[in-house]
Amino acid sequence: MQGLGSYRGISDIIAIKNGGVLFIEVKAPGGSLSHHQRRFAKNIKASGGHYILAFSYEDIEDYLKTREGTDG
């Protein structure tokens, strides 16, 4: 997405449901965040947003299970 002029470090997936937004960065096992991705994650979390780093579908599923019954 950077080639399209988006924010540097923006997550791979942006999920929206019932007004809630979740930013998901997807990495292969052993992968790591770039400087810009770390900064993006920090900014999202500092503003009260929801962000996860996922190495598998199970990471996303586990996150969603912990959020059941909450606002996000």
- Phi and psi at residue 26, to the nearest 5°: -105, 130
Q: Check if the beta carbon of residue 33 is closer than 8 Å to that of residue 53.
A: yes
Per-residue pLDDT tens over the stretch 32-56? 999 999 999 999 999 999 999 999 9
At residue 1 the predicted structure's pLDDT band, cuts being 50, 70 and 90, is low
| Domain spans, the chain | 2-67
Q: Model pTM?
A: 0.83
Q: What strands, in cross-sheet order, belong to the sheet with 13-17?
A: 13-17, 20-26, 50-54
Q: Note the CATH number of domain 2-67.
A: 3.40.1350.10
Place of tokens 């929801």: 50
Q: Check if the beta carbon of residue 66 is closer than 8 Å to that of residue 36.
A: no
Task: Please compute the mean of the pLDDT values over residues 16-21 and round it to a whole number.
Answer: 88
Give residue 22's pLDDT.
Answer: 95
